[in-house]
């Protein structure tokens, strides 16, 4: 069995579907079900005997320890986090608690469990930490892409908390010998993403006839990675990654935000044309910039390609079309957007258009 923290969220849920589609090995999802955790994303596997779920907070070390003792997993993949940059600006406390304190509690629970394993199981055990390219900070248009040796320079409360968690994971390997692996990936997109992130938010607002709020001048660049490509990379690192190493995972898809929004509007114009014949582009509205907004992210993914043979399979064009189609086909899932207090803050920070 493998344990997956935070797998009722976007990437973790996609990972569950990927894993159970490929392997016989059971999974146990450990998730607190915050606003971002949604069991509906796991509904397609709910009756699969290989799927198990436990609602818990990763800060609750005794609860994690009890599950480790009962199920004796051979690996833990750590997806759980507070993950949205705007929320971290609004309220950084939850990010420090879950991403820093939570990772610490998890590492300590795992260290005690791992230390008590018989030698062969101890040697085979893996702790895989899922992290972000945001720990490397912001690139200028001419800077080379982030490599695994780019110095850390996090700029938001979110990325600072993820950087802290990366350092804890690294330290538990060097100090205690814990068998860890870390992945740092770029912006994911695809099915089951909570509609507060750029791509699902724009699809949701476009269909609702609402403004499409582009922060600042819309020229910030992100390197888009289709979530199933990311899941394949994680499975590959778990299988063959070198202990203590970090692997950058990126889609080789650097796109300016405004171009992303234009492409989404054009896809929706084709797939769900408006009754009045106008383009969704008319809904685009420039709003205030995000405080501390990183200008550009770009991943150099040559290490994972060279060492583990992983490359992304999806182009941005094919991945985005699949994503738009998924949101069009799953309006009920999208309806479960909540959190009024956060929406109010977004309205205040970015204006009525957001
Ligand atoms: P998400 O916000 O969609 O899901 C996070 C999940 O963690 C939710 O199911 C939530 O309920 C759970 N969770 C939060 N706090 C918890 C706690 N204290 N205890 C237990 N569970 C808790 O996040 P995501 O987009 O799926 O990201 C997954 C991981 O990948 C995160 O670590 C994130 O930092 C990292 N990451 C995400 C992206 C991206 O583009 N989404 C890119 C790079 C890295
Ligand atoms: O790079 C990896 C990171 O990507 C992950 O670690 C984070 O968990 C994930 O949330 C994502 O962070 P970003 O801040 O890049 O993603 P977001 O979707 O919030 O924003 C993408 C870009 O779009 C960013 O430049 C801000 C801009 N934006 C975002 C929203 C929500 C807008 O212009 N308008 C919006 O309404």
pLDDT at 335: 80
CA of 215 to the centre of ligand 2 (A): 10
Atom of ligand 2 nearest to the CA of 134: 1
Block residue for tokens 């977004």: 346
Question: Three-state DSSP class for 336?
Answer: coil
Residue 198, sorted as left (phi over 0), alpha (psi -120 to 50) or beta, turns out to be: alpha
CA of 6 to the centre of ligand 1 (A): 6
Q: What are phi and psi for residue 284, nearest 5 degrees?
A: -65, 130
Q: Hey, what are 152's tokens?
A: 């850390």
C-alpha to C-alpha distances, 148 to 168, 186, 242, 247, nearest whole angstrom? 17, 13, 13, 7
pLDDT at 351: 59
| Contact partners, residue 346, CB within 8 Å, separation at least 6 | 86, 90, 354
Q: What are phi and psi for residue 263, nearest 5 degrees?
A: -65, -40
CA of 198 to the centre of ligand 2 (A): 6
Percentage of residues in the chain having pLDDT higher than 90: 93
pLDDT digits (tens, 9 = 90+) for 149-160: 999 999 999 999
pLDDT at 353: 53
Count of CB atoms situated within 10 Å of the CB of 144? 9
Q: Which of 105, 133, 229, 314 is catalytic?
A: 133
Q: Are 331 and 176 in contact (CB under 8 A)?
A: no
**Which parts of the chain sit beneath pLDDT 70?**
336-354
pLDDT digits (tens, 9 = 90+) for 227-252: 999 999 999 999 999 999 999 999 99
Annotated catalytic residue 192: no
Annotated catalytic residue 134: yes
Q: Cα angle vertex 288, ends 338, 190, to 5°?
A: 45
The domain ranges of the chain are 2-187+226-252+298-313
Annotated catalytic residue 158: yes
Task: Say how far apart CA 97 and CA 255 lie, in whole Å.
Answer: 32
Block residue for tokens 């970015």: 350
Mutation test of ligand 1: which of 3, 5, 9, 85 has the most ligand atoms closer than 8 Å to its C-beta? 9
Atom of ligand 2 nearest to the CA of 214: 33
Q: Hey, what are 37's tokens?
A: 């955790």
pLDDT digits (tens, 9 = 90+) for 326-353: 999 999 888 864 444 434 544 565 555 5
CA nearest neighbour of 18 among 44, 38, 37, 53: 44
DSSP 139-208: --TTSPPB-TTSPP---SHHHHHHHHHHHHHHHHHHHH---EEEEEE--EESTT--TTSHHHHHHHHHHT
CA nearest neighbour of 32 among 49, 54, 55: 55
pLDDT at 334: 86
DSSP 251-297: -S-EEEHHHHHHHHHHHHHHHS--TT---GGGGEEEEPPPTT---B-
Residue 46 is classified by DSSP as T
Could you tell me the fold of the domain covering 2-187+226-252+298-313? Rossmann fold (3.40.50)
CA nearest neighbour of 225 among 319, 323, 354: 319
Q: What are phi and psi for residue 260, nearest 5 degrees?
A: -60, -45
3-state percent helix, strand, coil for the chain, nearest multiple of 5: 50, 15, 35
Q: Are 325 and 269 in contact (CB under 8 A)?
A: no
pLDDT at 259: 98
Count of CB atoms situated within 10 Å of the CB of 115? 11
CA nearest neighbour of 297 among 221, 240, 237: 221
């Amino acid at each position: 069995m493998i344990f997956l923290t935070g797998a009722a969220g976007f990437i973790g849920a996609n990972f569950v579907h990927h894993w159970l589609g490929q392997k016989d090995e059971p999974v146990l999802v450990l998730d607190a079900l915050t606003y971002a955790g949604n069991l509906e994303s796991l509904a397609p596997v709910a009756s699969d005997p290989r799927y198990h779920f436990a609602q818990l907070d990763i800060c609750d070390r005794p609860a994690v320890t009890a599950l480790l003792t009962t199920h004796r997993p051979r690996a833990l993949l750590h997806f759980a986090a507070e993950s949205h940059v705007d929320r971290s600006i609004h309220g950084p406390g939850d990010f420090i608690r879950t991403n820093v304190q939570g990772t610490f509690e998890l590492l300590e629970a795992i260290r005690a469990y791992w230390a008590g394993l018989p030698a062969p199981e101890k040697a085979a055990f893996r702790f895989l930490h899922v992290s972000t390219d945001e720990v490397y900070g912001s690139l200028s248009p001419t800077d080379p892409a982030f490599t695994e040796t780019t110095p850390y320079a996090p700029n938001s409360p979110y990325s600072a908390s993820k950087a802290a968690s990366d350092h804890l994971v690294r330290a538990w390997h060097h100090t205690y010998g814990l068998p860890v692996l870390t992945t740092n990936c770029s912006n994911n997109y695809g099915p089951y993403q909570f509609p507060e992130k750029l791509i699902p938010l724009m699809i949701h607002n476009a269909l609702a006839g609402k403004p499409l709020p582009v922060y600042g001048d819309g020229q910030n660049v992100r390197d888009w990675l289709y979530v199933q490509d990311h899941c394949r990379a994680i499975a590959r690192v778990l299988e063959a990654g070198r202990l203590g190493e970090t692997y950058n995972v990126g889609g080789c898809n650097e796109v300016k935000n405004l171009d992303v929004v234009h492409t989404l509007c054009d896809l929706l114009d084709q797939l769900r044309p408006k009754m009045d014949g106008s383009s969704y582009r008319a809904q685009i509205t420039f709003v205030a910039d995000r405080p501390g907004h990183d200008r550009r992210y770009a991943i150099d993914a040559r290490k994972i390609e060279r060492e583990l043979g992983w490359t992304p399979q999806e182009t941005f064009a094919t991945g985005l079309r699949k994503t738009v189609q998924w949101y069009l086909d799953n309006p009920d899932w999208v309806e479960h957007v909540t959190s009024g207090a956060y929406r109010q803050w977004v309205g205040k920070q970015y204006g009525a258009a957001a």
